[in-house]
Chains A and B, each alone.
Chain A
Amino acid sequence: MDTIKLTIDNRVVEVPKGTTILKAAEQMGIRIPTLCNFELEGLALKNHPGGCRICVVEVVGRRNLAPACITECMPDMVVRTNSPRAINARKTVLELMLSDHPNDCLQCPKNGKCELQALAADMGIREIPYKGAQSNYPIELSPSIVRDANKCIMCRRCESVCHEYQSVGAIGAVDRGFPAVVNTAFNEPLINTNCVFCGQCVAVCPVGALSEVDNTGKILRDIANPDVKTCVQVAPAVRVALGEEFGMPAGSIVTGKIAAALKAIGFDYVFDTDWSADLTIMEEGTEAVGRFKAFLSGDKNVKIPIMTSCCPAWVNFYEKFYPELREYPSTAKSPQGMFGATVKTYFADKIGIPREKLISVSVMPCVAKKYECEREELGANGDPDVNYSITTRELARLIKICNIDFANLPEAEFDSPLGASTGAAVIFGVTGGVMEAALRTAYEVLTGKTLPKIDFEEVRGLDGIREATIPIPGVIDLKVAVVYGLKNARTIMEQIKAGNCPYHFVEVMACPGGCIDGAGQPYHHGDASIVKARYKAIYEADRQMPLRKSHENPEVQAIYKEFYGEPCSEKSHHLLHTHYFDKKIKFDLEK
């Protein structure tokens, strides 16, 4: 490989050709501040517009300052990252940015997590010398995402993830000069656009311009209400990330502490979405097995590949972009949805209260789940199956509001009867997990034999598109694909449309690496090692479980015996399956 020698801050360094000054400095332990520059390495999220000019450095012999993030190293270059000229320019850029930025840090949803705030502190900003015009945009609320364009610094990270990573393109830069801002087309509310509410824009926004709808206040209100009972479910990926908010290392598994914290907050019943993830495998797995059998018997009408339907942003995506293919995804509701439907029927009956008096809350690594809660079809007579959802970050806030010492909290168990789970359920939190969980069950159902090896390493990993052939002896060589990122999902949908999709079974998750980097998770600020630690932790949590196949979950077996009968029964079709809508833009042609 060609390498280049150059001098940065009086030290000689050798780097591969094509390396930016920013990266070269990083190797030497010199951290040049950045704002717009963003990359979640190995996980397909990136933004390198070279736009904010915070990272400017002095290159000896060059007339103007160079943005370190997009300037490649050249042989014998002499770079000064902290020359007075560079520092003054950096400070001026920051001051100009702050001159049109609201000073409401204390009430800002990003307070304490804001990259602009941190930079202002690092740069020792004490006053803003520029008094110019102030942006004045209304704050927009959607079911999942709050947009406050007054705080936008035009880094365009959100635009990059929305367009390049998800291939959705709901938001982007509009206008020019001072009024330039990230917005939807025609300033439409998000709900009227192609936005799928994945929330990755929120996950990468360095400031408070994009944040999730905060439901912590609703929880405090409902818990204080003596007229209702409250129950909560916790998604798999939350348990490998929440600890980060309390100073624990990334990848800490805090399942028992979460159960304890939710009890301490005052929920009447603390259940586990892992239970309904196992239930999802029973339903989706049975549906899949049925489709494979029909396919093998030569049925030309059966929709193959079957696709997973757990990820709410993915569901929004195919309803908005590929409604004509909406019979491919499984009709199974998401684990959140299955839990909600069960708790508001079976469990409300069991404790003898009407469903409206049972407030069902979910804790999700996800922003799109908030939108899912508001789907009319996921409820009965206007009462939602899940009243509302909070993110992992909101749970952290709630725990802090309630003054609970999370790190030192003794562990507790989830409540019965919707609390037991298997290792197959916890891996729902990672890309490839739903596929692997389904394979563990489908293999045994299809062959009638015990799996020789539980781990399906073939479907694991963090590449955006992975494929494998899983031999199911005597039945089928199952061709599967696992993708994350909706741009990758689009590739599969285009294959189906063209009639050349080679797969039988496809898993799709919208977020990088699956729910472990869901948009509701603690902010990683571009540090991919955090996401990778969560990835490892999920599989560790799987290994620690005494039971690792969904069909072995005793509380899932019990609910079939007591309530649902069998997978894909009439009752489970009614409560655990759903249907999808055509939400694509249509042109109404007038003569």
Chain B
Amino acid sequence: MCGPQIKINEASYRFIQDTCASFNNNPGELINILHKTQEHFGYLPAEVQQVVADCLGIPVGRVYGVVSFYSFFTMKPKGKYAISVCLGTACYVKGAEKVLDALKSELKISEGGVTEDGKFSLDVLRCVGACGLAPVMTINGKTYGRLVPEHVKEILAEYAD
């Protein structure tokens, strides 16, 4: 009889260890550590959160509490190109939902989903601070503004690799 075994790739384990160490394993830096970790892995699967908790000496529930609270953090892997549609107030009243619907039907996924080939993922967020360009979406950090649903096809075409 022994405790639970958590499988994780050794390089990933070392990366998390080093990241936590760079913040002096200070639990107060949890959010910053999660940012760095998500930046590296693209998402925060359970085993990654377990290692973070272990390094910081806090219960994994604390880590999961933060990850599940902030919509920026995700436990699902993202697509190669991560699309985020802003549904903040300004974007919403300027028709962001129609843009979102166009993306959904074009990519055949719903929000939070990833296309079968892993190329695109689709998420919504609240305000990227570009309300003057509303409605806005970002793809891997690149901002597209003053959108109408008809733009969706040509923008996605930019990512035909």
Q: Which residues of A contact B (CB under 8 A)?
A: 163, 168-176, 184-186, 192-194, 320, 323, 376, 581-591
Beta-carbon nearest neighbor of B70 in chain A:
A176
**Known contacts being A169-B59, A172-B61, A172-B65, is A589 close to B2, with CB within 8 Å?**
no
Q: Restricting to B50-101, which residues have a CB under 8 Å from any CB of A?
A: 50-51, 54, 58-65, 68-69
Q: Which residues of B contact A586 (CB under 8 A)?
A: 2-6
Tell me the complex Cα distance, A591–B49, Å: 19
Which of B3, B9, B69 is close to A583, meaning CB atoms less than 8 Å apart?
Answer: B3
**Known contacts being A174-B65, A185-B64, A588-B8, is A163 close to B59, with CB within 8 Å?**
yes
The verdict on B157 contacting chain A, using a C-beta distance below 8 Å, is no
Tell me the complex Cα distance, A275–B69, Å: 51
Q: Which residues of A contact B58 (CB under 8 A)?
A: 169
- A320-B3, A588-B7, A590-B8 are known; give 12 further A-B pairs, CB within 8 A: A170-B59, A170-B61, A185-B59, A193-B61, A194-B59, A581-B2, A585-B4, A586-B6, A589-B8, A590-B9, A590-B10, A591-B9
Tell me the complex Cα distance, A589–B14, Å: 10
Which of A169, A176, A186, A376 is close to B62, meaning CB atoms less than 8 Å apart?
Answer: A169
Tell me the complex Cα distance, A192–B10, Å: 23
Tell me the complex Cα distance, A583–B9, Å: 22
Beta-carbon nearest neighbor of A173 in chain B:
B65
Q: Which residues of B contact A (CB under 8 A)?
A: 1-10, 13, 46, 49-51, 54, 58-65, 68-69
Contact between chains at B68 and A174 (CB < 8 Å): yes
A-B contact count (CB 8 A): 84
* Sampled A-B contacts (6; CB under 8 Å): A172-B59, A172-B61, A174-B64, A185-B46, A185-B61, A591-B9
Tell me the complex Cα distance, A186–B63, Å: 10
Top 4 nearest A-B pairs (CB, nearest first) are A169-B59, A185-B64, A583-B3, A589-B10
Q: Which residues of A contact B60 (CB under 8 A)?
A: 169, 185-186
Tell me the complex Cα distance, A8–B58, Å: 42
Contact between chains at A176 and B1 (CB < 8 Å): no
Contact between chains at A588 and B5 (CB < 8 Å): yes
CB distance from A74 to the nearest CB of B (A): 31
- Most chain-A CB neighbours within 10 Å: which of B6, B58, B61, B69? B61
Which of B8, B9, B51, B69 is close to A174, meaning CB atoms less than 8 Å apart?
Answer: B69
Tell me the complex Cα distance, A585–B59, Å: 11
Beta-carbon nearest neighbor of A169 in chain B:
B59
Tell me the complex Cα distance, A492–B69, Å: 34
Beta-carbon nearest neighbor of A170 in chain B:
B61
CB distance from A522 to the nearest CB of B (A): 29
Q: Which residues of B contact A174 (CB under 8 A)?
A: 61, 64-65, 68-69
Q: Which residues of A contact B4 (CB under 8 A)?
A: 192, 585-586
Beta-carbon nearest neighbor of B59 in chain A:
A169
CB distance from B18 to the nearest CB of A (A): 14
**Known contacts being A172-B62, A581-B1, is A590 close to B69, with CB within 8 Å?**
no
Q: Which residues of A contact B69 (CB under 8 A)?
A: 173-176
CB distance from A316 to the nearest CB of B (A): 11
Q: Which residues of B contact A584 (CB under 8 A)?
A: 3
Contact between chains at A184 and B54 (CB < 8 Å): no
Q: Which residues of A contact B59 (CB under 8 A)?
A: 163, 168-170, 172, 185, 194
CB distance from A578 to the nearest CB of B (A): 12
